[in-house]
Structure 1
Amino acid sequence: MLLVMRTVVIVTILLHCFAQRCILGQEPTCQPQPSCSECLSSPGCAWCTQLDFLKSGEANERRCDSPDSLKTRNCQNVINPQASIHAKKNSSLSNHPDNVVQLKPQNVNIKLRVGVPANLNIEFQRAEGYPIDLYYLMDLSYSMKDDLAQIKTLGQKILGKLKEITGTVRIGFGSFVDKEMLPYVSMVKSKRANPCPNRIDTCQPAFSFQNVLPLTSNDKDFTKEVSKQNISGNLDSPEAGLDAIMQAAVCEDKIKWGNVTRILVYTSDDTFHMAGDGRLAGVFQPHDGKCHLNDKGSYNGRSYDYPSVGHLSRILQDNNIQLIFAVTEEIYPAYKALSALIPQSVVGVLKTDSSNVVDLISEAYGNLSSTLVLEAEGAPKELDVSYRSICNGKPAEGEWKDKGECKGIRHEKVSFVVRLKVSECLPEPQTFRIKIQGIGEEVKVTVDTQCQCSCGEPEKSSQHCNANGTLSCGVCSCDKGYLGQHCECMQNNNMDSIQSMLTLCRQDNNSLVCSGQGSCECGKCVCHGRYSGKFCQCDDGSCERYNSMICNGKGTCNCGTCICHGNYTGSACSCPPSTENCQYNKGLCSGQGKCVCNQCQCNTGFTGSHCSSILNHCAQFKDCVECHVEGEGDCAKTCLNGEITRLDGDHELDCLYKDTISYDVELGPEGKILLKYGDLPRSIDKTTLIIGISVSLIIIIGIIIIVIYRGLLELYDMREYQNFVKAQKQTQWNEVQNPLFKGATTTVLNPLHTADE
């Protein structure tokens, strides 16, 4: 299963890559042609019919050039037909039920010049309440058993939901399984009769496609016919979905599609077979894109291979059918890749029992109808069609695209600008159509090219041709035996006469006849292509180019040299007459340069984009200051006739002269040199100043050191004293008596009292 899905995604991506084509191009450059009709068939060319327009010796190709170049060369009669657009039918947009018009114009005739684009404006507005035909196409393989039970009861709900959008709705029903062949369907008799995977269920035999109910507005018929349906089965996972879509699209009469909005709802829970898979059953015949339903509305699919995605996409577009894929989440990526290759198709995720199919259809239809895609079908290969879209009132802008597209549109009017550009002349008028995807209306466009000259009737025996030729579109077609720009020379086959004429067409004896760039007629050179001059020695295409144009498109090339017009200058006429970039508040190039090619070329000694800066001004004007200070030399010359001012007092300016004078230089209006100078302030004895400063610094530093030392010493003494006091307070003195010590006892006897004892 996963392998099949991966294969489908890869194949669809490859198909998408091959389907994309880029058209790269650029505006055409005129390639000169010898006749008027051939000239108009060449992109970007016009033809000059003015008599005597060509110089002597110039070929008729010189009459064929771009319109601007012919105008520059003073041609007064230029044939340069312009594109024209004529609307044959241009009915106004209308919502009336009997005359619905959604696309305008309806029929257009356009005449184009080769290489010259023309724009066609197209308007579209979706009609409100436009009828809808919805055909429900269902996979009846065994895995869709639960879904069929739901669908049998949804007819009225689907019609009711769509009637919220429009009052006229029809609904039909079809089903599919797979081709009635091996290896898709079992050919064992019992399995063919009942392909259910178990014996309990009863299934109907497999089939490719069955148109069960053509489109009807009766929901009861839908319910009745769908209720009769029974599930079926097949062997492999992919189904014959593309086969069924093809038959539902091309069998317009049997499905009963109306000229209304056509919607085909496709429901499945598995992938699909596509072109090439039929070879597994021995079917090699590609699908022919035709209806093959029998009288019972069945298609067995045995004769043709499965249709390709590209073929199916084209059939759906041709039949204006919008496709809604309602598939389960597991196979959503495969159908998303398929939808990318089918215009006007969307994919929605279906629940496993299809219970959300009504809301899914409503939402998908809203997404389809809100996106408008305008494209051309059947346009000739010579015609390039590109688009710009004007959506939601926003102006058309950006690059031209290969389709016109607007999103988020309901019933508002939108516009498209269609650019048509033909690359070569069409042999006859070609008709193609421009249409909105999924809408039956279209713009029929008939395009033709203007490649024929309208110069009037040719003038035979014209006096301009010396009565020896026919004049048409300014060119003489000489009668037999005559040559020359004006048929003035009779052709002579005498060898001596021929040699004499050839001699007249050489610059010298060693050069080629007409420098190898022309032919000698009657002793005069008729130059080929862009060459000119008496001997075709001048290449009028060899001039210098600018902006990819010879002489910048602002001059003519004359013998390799540009002759500029409109005050343009330069070797390639690349210098405009404007002096805008040279203007400055001090004058043109500050008065010190000249404006060349709108750029300043500065005088010697000046620089800058406006020559407003003086190079090395101190050195450049030192001699000027010396001249004024010393009074020697030609001061006007050295000072460039500048205005010199001596300042009073002392001044310090940018530049110095002999350490006593300072000066400065600047530019004034119109580049006038303004120099001012003055005396420098008195100088001081630098030696004394240096010694004084040095001694002062030494003394100051010494004092600072002493103060710091004294301060640190005081801090140390203070800290020591505090420590002493703290220790003193912490000391305790206790009196303790020594037990071993006994005090002495002294007895003194008074001798006077001895007797008394």
Structure 2
Amino acid sequence: MCCVPFLCDYLINDCACNANFLVMQDFLKPGESNERRCDSPEALKARRCKGDHVINPGKHPLTYVKNSDLSSDHENVVQLRPQNINIKLRVGVPFEFRVEFRRAVGYPIDLYYLMDLSYSMKDDLEQIKTLGQKILKKLKDITDTVRIGFGSFVDKEMLPYVSQVKARRRNPCPNRIDTCQPAFSFKNVLPLTHDAREFEREVSKQDISGNLDAPEAGLDAIMQAAVCKDKIKWGDVTRILVYTSDDTFHMAGDGRLGGVFQPHNGQCHLNDNGSYNGRAYDYPSVGHVSRVLQDNNIQLIFAVTEDIYPAYKALSALIPQSVVGVLKNDSSNVVDLISEAYGNLSSTLVLEQEGAPKELDVSYKSTCKGNQADSEWKEKGVCQGIKHEQIAFNVRLNASACLKEPQTFRIKMQGINEEVKITVHTECHCDCGVPEKASKHCSSTGTLSCGVCSCDEGHLGQRCECVQQSDADSIINMLASCRPDNGSLVCSGHGTCECGKCVCHGHYSGKFCECDDNSCEYHNNHLCNGKGRCKCGTCHCTEDYTGSACECSPSQDKCMNDKGLCSGQGKCTCNRCQCNEGFKGEHCSAFTDECSVDKTTLIIGISVSSIIFIGIIIIIIYRCLLELYDIREYQNFVKAQKQTEWKEVMYMQRHSVLLNG
């Protein structure tokens, strides 16, 4: 927010001004920084800035240049809305807007079939020769308008990829029984057409070929199929490239084996016969291929055999809007594979920015099926499992710095040729009319613009009232008056010394800018609860609010009942009753029952005593039983002892009789 007039283009929240800047020339107090003109509306009004002088440059930031309704009409298909907007941003202030998408029903499809014709694909070629009608029929379950084309690839026409022996060059088949056509990098056999029979006729004319090494020129072929738009005859429709192979692919750098060091330039190099030999440029990098496919809105389906599936799965992860399917060894399942892969591609929607300036952060929240929205802002907007339902994305823009001039970038849906064009302006300057030179407000030694004096050379101060001294002693004395003591920083490091007085920056104040007017307590996420002003670390409350954070409301409604304020037995503090001794409750309406406390103590005492008494009785009984047991055992011992003595006497008597016998 800004109190007219002032341009605060060096603050985070930039301000705009209007032509009535002379009205508030005396808004600032002597020695105050010009930054004080920028604040919240409440703070500005509290400092006698009238409401009609408070300008909020954040109003009406969005202008629609084109905002056509979503439509599936084949004459005017609209899947993404809006189409063109202008946005005015304030630096550091995020702005959000909504983008809607609904896939058009029956949207036309162009499908270009790109096939590996190396010798190991011989049986696959026989299958493809009869698949034109089946592919078109399957795709017409999705849309009425389908075109199909065919291209093929082998490898670069040089060693060590392709044999240069004349006989092997003419017929690169590994045995003499078969006849193969010479190898080539890429050949546009049939541009996109509605005629399925023409597809079958042209494909049936194709012969298998061969090369020396296992990897093929697949990336070379994808590049040419994508960038040669006129020769492939890509339409402004859904574009699908089906890639079939049973082996891996050469990557950037592999061309050096054949003496090719020139990186691929991303251009179309087809000759008049629709062929590309690959001799001039290295194989393209994966990143280059990915970027070209995105730029041309081409969705890629890899149909590859099971043994090389992992390699293409890793490749697909690097190429947006691509999927991988397992192709049977003879390509007999290719029709179903294409249908399933297209369904997977079309059900995943990814919205992302393209070409945004570095000063602008773009993030997304997706609202997909069932109004399930993201909880956090993400780098891309993603929805999965989508058919033809309408979905929405919230887009947030946040400028980190002022843009020198308006910047245009685009938000696109991967694989869709529609886009949202966004032109961003940053509000960093004010148009305050013609500056007033030698203004009396500026002591006739400065220019008044937007209510602020720009002083002539040799003059300083809020109104250019100070003459800048060149004498060293004068400067030292001036700086000394801006320090509380010799060991301190000038203006405590939070301001500048002008005319011997501190002009504080930001939220600092005081004679020496020693006070931080943003260091008070927070309550309810607001400084001083939003009910006061922070001055030098202390909240100065308004509207009769009290407390260190102005957290105490002057209202007493929660302290009142039918018996009056706190039932007449307490005082209301911070809209809560503080009860007198002997009373309790929300309104101090209940007595504190001392008898119940004594009763509780008595019960606890009796319980503890009973437990102790019972324990003593148990111990006594145990000791008595133990004593009885000992007595009984002793009596048994004595009895046993007597029996032993009697037996010994009897033995002696018998022994004596025998001896005397």
Q: How does the TM-score come out when normalised to structure 2?
A: 0.78
Residues of 2 paired with 1:135 and 1:586: CA distance? 87
Q: Which stretch has the larger CA shift, 504-513 or 186-195?
A: 504-513
Please state whether the residue corresponding to 1:360 is helix, strand or coil: helix
Aligned CA distance change for structure 1 residues 505 and 410 (closer, same or farther; 3 Å): closer
Q: Which stretch has the larger CA shift, 539-548 or 116-125?
A: 539-548
Deviation at 1:412, TM superposition (A): 3.0
Deviation at 1:81, TM superposition (A): 0.8
* 2:26 partner amino acid: D
Match of 2:57 among 72, 75, 81: 81
* 2:11 partner amino acid: S
Residues of 2 paired with 1:409 and 1:87: CA distance? 27
* 1:43 partner amino acid: I
Please state whether the residue corresponding to 2:371 is helix, strand or coil: coil
Please state whether the residue corresponding to 2:98 is helix, strand or coil: strand
Q: 1:287 — aligned with what?
A: 264
Deviations 1:398-437 (A, max 9, x none): 2122222233333333332222221111111111122222
Residues 1:44 and 2:18 are matched in the alignment: no
Structure 1 unmatched ranges of 5 or more: 1-29, 623-652, 657-661, 663-693, 699-757
Pairing 1:191-206 to 2, within 5 Å after superposition:
191-206=168-183
Give the count of matched residue pairs. Answer: 602
Residues of 1 paired with 2:545 and 2:585: CA distance? 24
Aligned CA distance change for structure 1 residues 433 and 188 (closer, same or farther; 3 Å): same
Q: 1:422 — aligned with what?
A: 399
Residues 1:62 and 2:41 are matched in the alignment: no
* 1:193 partner amino acid: R
Residues of 2 paired with 1:244 and 1:119: CA distance? 42
Q: Tell which structure's C-alpha radius of gyration is larger.
A: 1
Q: 1:736 — aligned with what?
A: none
Aligned CA distance change for structure 1 residues 447 and 269 (closer, same or farther; 3 Å): same
Q: 1:169 — aligned with what?
A: 146
Please state whether the residue corresponding to 1:556 is helix, strand or coil: strand
Do the aligned residues in 2 keep the contact of 1:102 with 1:441 (CA within 8 Å)? yes
Please state whether the residue corresponding to 1:233 is helix, strand or coil: coil
Aligned CA distance change for structure 1 residues 56 and 310 (closer, same or farther; 3 Å): same
Q: 2:389 — aligned with what?
A: 412
Match of 1:329 among 306, 317, 335: 306
* 1:188 partner amino acid: V
* 1:177 partner amino acid: V
Pairing 1:246-265 to 2, within 5 Å after superposition:
246-265=223-242
Q: 2:510 — aligned with what?
A: 533
Do the aligned residues in 2 keep the contact of 1:111 with 1:447 (CA within 8 Å)? yes
Deviations 1:229-269 (A, max 9, x none): 11112222221111111100001111111112111111111
Q: 1:238 — aligned with what?
A: 215
Aligned CA distance change for structure 1 residues 87 and 45 (closer, same or farther; 3 Å): closer
Do the aligned residues in 1 keep the contact of 2:14 with 2:428 (CA within 8 Å)? no
Please state whether the residue corresponding to 2:352 is helix, strand or coil: strand
Residues of 1 paired with 2:492 and 2:184: CA distance? 82
Residues of 2 paired with 1:407 and 1:511: CA distance? 62
Q: Which stretch has the larger CA shift, 429-438 or 533-542?
A: 533-542
Residues of 1 paired with 2:153 and 2:539: CA distance? 76
Residues 1:358 and 2:355 are matched in the alignment: no
Residues of 2 paired with 1:134 and 1:67: CA distance? 59
Residues of 2 paired with 1:582 and 1:329: CA distance? 78
Q: 1:157 — aligned with what?
A: 134
Do the aligned residues in 1 keep the contact of 2:223 with 2:266 (CA within 8 Å)? yes
Q: 1:125 — aligned with what?
A: 102
Pairing 1:298-337 to 2, within 5 Å after superposition:
298-337=275-314
* 1:270 partner amino acid: D
Q: Percent identity?
A: 72
Deviation at 1:98, TM superposition (A): 2.6
Residues of 2 paired with 1:586 and 1:339: CA distance? 77
Deviation at 1:213, TM superposition (A): 1.0
Deviation at 1:516, TM superposition (A): 6.8
Q: Which stretch has the larger CA shift, 588-597 or 438-447?
A: 588-597
Please state whether the residue corresponding to 1:246 is helix, strand or coil: helix
Aligned CA distance change for structure 1 residues 268 and 70 (closer, same or farther; 3 Å): farther
Residues of 1 paired with 2:47 and 2:538: CA distance? 15
Residues of 2 paired with 1:116 and 1:353: CA distance? 59
Residues of 1 paired with 2:419 and 2:541: CA distance? 51
Residues of 2 paired with 1:401 and 1:584: CA distance? 52
Deviations 1:616-671 (A, max 9, x none): 9689x99xxxxxxxxxxxxxxxxxxxxxxxxxxxxxx4467xxxxx9xxxxxxxxx
Residues 1:116 and 2:93 are matched in the alignment: yes
Please state whether the residue corresponding to 1:185 is helix, strand or coil: coil
Do the aligned residues in 2 keep the contact of 1:42 with 1:424 (CA within 8 Å)? no
Q: 2:654 — aligned with what?
A: none
Deviation at 1:443, TM superposition (A): 1.8
Residues 1:210 and 2:187 are matched in the alignment: yes
Aligned CA distance change for structure 1 residues 143 and 565 (closer, same or farther; 3 Å): farther
Deviations 1:178-222 (A, max 9, x none): 222333223333333322222222222222111111111122221
Match of 2:358 among 360, 381, 387: 381
Please state whether the residue corresponding to 1:557 is helix, strand or coil: strand
Residues of 2 paired with 1:512 and 1:268: CA distance? 74
Q: Which stretch has the larger CA shift, 425-434 or 157-166?
A: 157-166
Aligned CA distance change for structure 1 residues 205 and 493 (closer, same or farther; 3 Å): closer
Deviation at 1:124, TM superposition (A): 2.4
Do the aligned residues in 2 keep the contact of 1:459 with 1:472 (CA within 8 Å)? yes
Residues 1:436 and 2:405 are matched in the alignment: no
* 1:557 partner amino acid: C
Q: 1:228 — aligned with what?
A: 205
Deviation at 1:115, TM superposition (A): 1.5
Match of 2:315 among 333, 338, 344: 338
Do the aligned residues in 1 keep the contact of 2:132 with 2:199 (CA within 8 Å)? yes
Deviations 1:680-737 (A, max 9, x none): xxxxxxxxxxxxxx9xxx9xxxxxxxxxxxxxxxxxxxxxxxxxxxxxxxxxxxxxxx
Residues of 2 paired with 1:276 and 1:510: CA distance? 65
Do the aligned residues in 1 keep the contact of 2:68 with 2:78 (CA within 8 Å)? yes
Structure 2 unmatched ranges of 5 or more: 604-619, 625-661
RMSD: 4.4
Aligned CA distance change for structure 1 residues 561 and 138 (closer, same or farther; 3 Å): same
Q: 2:646 — aligned with what?
A: none
Deviations 1:110-162 (A, max 9, x none): 11111222222222232222222111000111111111000011111112222
Please state whether the residue corresponding to 1:361 is helix, strand or coil: helix
Aligned CA distance change for structure 1 residues 542 and 278 (closer, same or farther; 3 Å): same
Aligned CA distance change for structure 1 residues 285 and 610 (closer, same or farther; 3 Å): farther
Residues of 2 paired with 1:189 and 1:611: CA distance? 110
* 2:423 partner amino acid: T
Aligned CA distance change for structure 1 residues 64 and 199 (closer, same or farther; 3 Å): same
Residues of 1 paired with 2:568 and 2:49: CA distance? 43
Aligned CA distance change for structure 1 residues 247 and 584 (closer, same or farther; 3 Å): farther
Deviations 1:451-473 (A, max 9, x none): 11233333445454455543322
Residues of 1 paired with 2:293 and 2:167: CA distance? 38
With CA pairs under 8 Å and 6+ residues apart, which has the higher RCO, 1 or 2? 2
Residues of 1 paired with 2:416 and 2:493: CA distance? 63
Match of 1:100 among 69, 74, 77: 77
Do the aligned residues in 2 keep the contact of 1:47 with 1:64 (CA within 8 Å)? no
Deviation at 1:85, TM superposition (A): 1.3
Residues of 2 paired with 1:91 and 1:138: CA distance? 40
Residues 1:477 and 2:415 are matched in the alignment: no
Residues of 2 paired with 1:607 and 1:282: CA distance? 95
Pairing 1:459-474 to 2, within 5 Å after superposition:
459-474=436-451
Deviations 1:354-387 (A, max 9, x none): 1111111122222222222222211112111222
Residues of 1 paired with 2:214 and 2:88: CA distance? 55
